[in-house]
Amino acid sequence: MKLIVGLGNPGDRYQATRHNAGFWLVERFAADTRTGLRKDAKFQALVGRHEASGAWLMLPQSHMNLSGRPVQMLASFFRIAPADILVAHDELDFAPGVAKIKQGGSAAGHNGLKDISARLGSHDYWRLRIGIGHPGDRDAVTDFVLHKPSQEDRAAIDAAIGRALEVLPQMLAGDLQGAMLKLHTQGPAESAAAERPVKPEKPERPAKTAKAMDKPAKPGKEGLFGSLLKKFLPDTDPKRKK
């Protein structure tokens, strides 16, 4: 990989929205590797170079549906082929917590991918798809992606990004199949189970013994009528006879 692109919308208004999942991944990778991202007016993007691999990192600042122009300009300037480009983006078809890698294919309605494919004249670039879930209604998609995920969904998305970042060095080194195998075989359920602390089991209550169950009940109050009978009737209890 010679160019890693994170897709999203610029500005504080969109920073925490689902549509910016691609931004989140590249921003975390840049922070982890201490790669500075600086605004480049020529490319209309935040751009930095990963020192260890020499790959370029890019966050287009032209809004999602115009992401293709910055990508095409930088790729053309540095003569980077589509097959050497990785685009990280949000994926409606995957649940939060899922991340997968693939090469080529259609844009599946994603405006950022549509523009990149049109500008590059190719679908052969790689995609790192980060699941954000689906609202269940096509008409609600725009509103859904432009709003913040729930706290639970954001945690799942961040966990998926973390697993993707673990295999990114393999991709940069050219081991794409190895990276795919590692990422795709470690699903969200396995990771969650590995990270979830084990709760100590509560001790079971001891079963009641026959002796405890046969314990006689406490005598109740005799009442006025019982007291009078006891007073005037003869005592028939043999134990009390002398």
DSSP string, 89-127: EEETTS-TT-EEEEE----TT-HHHHHHHHHHT-S-SEE
Indicate whether 227 belongs to any domain.
no
Is 15 inside a domain boundary? yes
Q: Annotated catalytic residue: which of 19, 50, 89, 110?
A: 19
Q: Which residue has the higher pLDDT, 187 or 147?
A: 147
Which value, in Å, is the radius of gyration of the alpha carbons in the chain? 34
Q: Is residue 213 part of a domain?
A: no
Domain of residue 133 covers 3-195
Is residue 200 very low, low, confident or very high in pLDDT (cuts 50, 70, 90)? very low
Tell me the pTM. 0.76
Residue 58's nearest CA partner among 130, 8, 3 is 3
Total residue count of the chain as it appears in this document: 242
Indicate whether 128 belongs to any domain: yes
> Is the distance from CB of 96 to CB of 133 less than 8 angstroms?
yes
pLDDT number for residue 71? 97
Please state the rounded mean pLDDT for residues 181-200: 57
19 is catalytic: yes
Give the total number of structural domains in the chain: 1
**Residue-level pLDDT at 235:** 53
Nearest to 7 by CA among 79, 124, 102, 115: 115
- 234 found inside a domain: no
Residues 91, 129: Cα–Cα separation, whole Å: 6
Do the domain assignments include residue 241? Answer: no
Tell me whether residue 29 is in a domain.
Answer: yes
Does the pLDDT value for residue 61 go beyond 60?
yes
**Domain CATH for 98:** 3.40.50.1470
Question: Out of 52-61, 76-85, 138-147, 205-214, which region has the weakest mean confidence (pLDDT)?
Answer: 205-214
pLDDT-derived band at 96, boundaries 50, 70, 90: very high
Q: Is residue 151 part of a domain?
A: yes
